[in-house]
Amino acid sequence: MERQTDLLQPLWRALVVFRVLTWAFACFGVWTRWDGIVRPYGAVLQMAVMGIWTLISSYGYSRRWGRRNTRLAFADLIVTAGCMYATLWAQPLIDIRGGASVLTSVWAAGPVLALAISRGRDGGLLGAATISLALLSLRGVEHASKILSNVQLLLVAGLVVGYTASTMRQAGARLREAIAAESATAERLRLSRSIHDGVLQVLAQVQRRGTAIGGEALELAQLAAEQEVALRTLMASRPAVGEGGRVDLCGLLLPLATTRVDVVVPAGQALLPAATATELVAAVKEALSNVTKHAGPDARSWVVVEDLGEEVLVSIRDDGVGTTPARLDQARADGHLGVSQSIRGRITDLGGTVTVRTAPGEGTEWELKVPT
């Protein structure tokens, strides 16, 4: 939040300068029209109230508490509208509708800009509409055409400044994500070096010694090998969170690697909607579960991710005993949920396609293709 405020700080500073300069301009306007004002000391009182509020609002906009929420901006809108009606202290309503100036002048645009900065385009439009209605009520509906240019300027200012503030806010969010990802990557690399120089070396030594000794030590060697693979997978993993509510499929699949499962992913991210990625990972897990159950005790698996642009292709291949397509069709017909629902059903619901290739003694390969 603090970085986001810092990015918008130049706009807030510009608003403070605008507020002070336009108040001075309004005071100058009263001075130049002094002889034409019916109640000049009412105008002085109005300028004094505007000056006090300019100091209060400028101080608030210069502090984080005044920029973190929209309460000050809404208060500014209400007070400014009240100051517009305070013109009645100096000029009768009939004179205003006859052409006399509303003494707030351009100063009245301040809350429009404040709401645009704090709430974006919608806030700017709300502020512009409120000030325009106040101006219209003073001038009268019959003179609406005379204030049309003022209304247009207020709307344009609210839209442009609101769009600028929203763009800067989004840029700030992306900057924070990039900084967080960079920090996480640096920390992961530091930990990876420490693990590689310490724990992995010990696990590799235990695996070699256990394999050489044999017997009961062989089981210990196997456990050490599995933990070594798990640690290497953790070291190679990367954040799964992407941009715009999308996630990196590669970051979700890398933890599936074991001593019998190799996961191969592209160098870049393969971004998918979160729900799509979750269902696709579940289908991959079911395919790997089928390898464990049916491919044989020594079967190995390979999971390969390919980003095809508008589609993502995930291949799951094993070197197990294999089967025949007819047996897969029969399993689906018999209601075995692993093939019919956990794999095919999930991918079909995502608008994707499933292709399976298998033969006795040649293993099985699944190709899961989903749109991005």
Provide the 3-class DSSP secondary structure of residue 280. Answer: helix
Give the integer Cα–Cα distance in Å for 131 and 50: 15
Q: Token pair 């806030």 is at which residue? A: 123
323 and 332 Cβ atoms separated by less than 8 Å:
no
- Which domains does the chain carry? 2-175 (no CATH), 240-372 (3.30.565.10)
Answer for the pair 303, 281: CB distance below 8 angstroms, yes or no: no
- Residue 245 is encoded by which pair of tokens? 């509510």
Pair type for strands 261-264 and 301-307: parallel
Q: Which helix (H) or strand (E) holds 343?
A: none
3-state secondary structure of 29: helix
Distance of CA 109 to the CA centre of its chain: 31
Q: Residues 331, 316, 366, CA angle at the centre, nearest 5°? A: 45
Distance of CA 166 to the CA centre of its chain: 12
How many Cα atoms are found within 13 Å in the side-chain-facing hemisphere of 350?
Answer: 29
**Residues facing residue 263 across a β-bridge:** 303
Residues 307 and 331: beta-carbon distance below 8 Å: no
pLDDT in tens, the chain (372 residues): 444 446 888 999 999 999 999 999 999 999 998 888 889 999 999 999 999 999 999 999 988 888 887 899 999 999 999 999 999 998 888 888 877 788 898 999 999 999 999 999 999 999 999 999 999 888 877 666 777 888 899 999 999 999 999 898 888 888 887 787 777 777 767 776 666 666 767 777 777 777 788 777 777 777 777 776 766 666 666 555 555 668 888 888 888 887 788 888 888 888 888 889 889 998 998 888 888 888 887 888 999 999 888 899 999 999 888 877 777 666 666 655 556 567 888 898 999 999 888 888 888 899 999 998
Beta bridge partners of 301: 261, 318
Tokens of 217: 């030590």
Q: What strands lie across the sheet with 353-358, from one edge to the other?
A: 261-264, 301-307, 311-318, 364-371, 353-358
Tokens 């290497």 belong to residue: 232
Structure tokens at 194: 């420490």
**Backbone dihedral region for residue 330 (phi beyond 0: left; psi -120 to 50: alpha; all else: beta):** alpha
